Amino acid sequence: MTLSNIGERLREERTRLGLSQTAFGEVGGVKKFAQSNYETGKRHPDALYLESLAKIGVDIQYVVSGIRSTNDAEGVEPAEEGLSPVAMYDIEAAAGDGRSLEQEEVETTLYFPTDQLAAQGLDPAQVVGIKVRGDSMDGTLADGDWVLVDRSRREPKPEGVFLLLVHGERRIKRVQRVAGGAWLLISDNEHYQPELIKPQDMKDVEILGRCEIRIGRVS
């Protein structure tokens, strides 16, 4: 068995799941350059990388041995043609200070029609799902809702609802730009007061993506 064969099968799995090298590498905790080296056989992926990929449905047994697994990792079915996998995270569980979202445990993987995501202007490789926790966004997002987040949109233009990292804690807030370059973080639940982020405090705030599509219970 040669490394290049492992690389070819790794690329085959990435293509099957409809992910770019950048997005696939992020799941495994590596950059696009390293992912490219894995696929061309220039470098060998380690166990932690492979373990991370297993959580989104990559058939690790096939990658390593060339033999298809009879049951995919954690019961995740391979993506059918025309469907794109979206990793879904619990915002409460995924609260590690300074950790990238892809290093957190995936609660589940849902599959969405690729063409419908594209019709909404979304690149499947840039979309993750987040479970909403708390009532601060009541009226827009309820506790237990899922929301699809576009990680390619990390600027508060146009203004909207964003997934943020604030002082090491992930939050979903409406972001409004105000005079002087400050941001106002707004909870749609009127019982919560807006939070002003001054320009000198911007280092403690990072936009992780824009909330685009809500998936929730009909009330």
Element counts in the chain: helices (H) and strands (E) = 6, 9
> Which contiguous run of DSSP H or E holds residue 132?
none
Q: What is the pTM of this model?
A: 0.62
Longest CA–CA span in the chain (Å) reads 62
Per-residue pLDDT of the chain (219 residues; tens, 9 = 90+): 344 488 888 988 888 887 888 888 888 899 999 999 998 888 888 888 988 888 888 888 888 888 777 544 444 454 556 788 888 888 764 444 444 565 566 777 788 888 889 999 999 888 999 988 889 999 899 888 999 999 999 888 888 999 998 888 888 999 999 988 899 999 999 999 999 999 999 998 999 999 999 987 665
Provide the CATH number for the domain formed by 1-78 in this structure. 1.10.260.40
Fold type of domain 82-219: Umud Fragment, subunit A (2.10.109)
Domain limits, the chain? 1-78, 82-219
Alpha helices in the chain (DSSP H): 3-16, 21-28, 32-40, 47-54, 60-65, 114-119
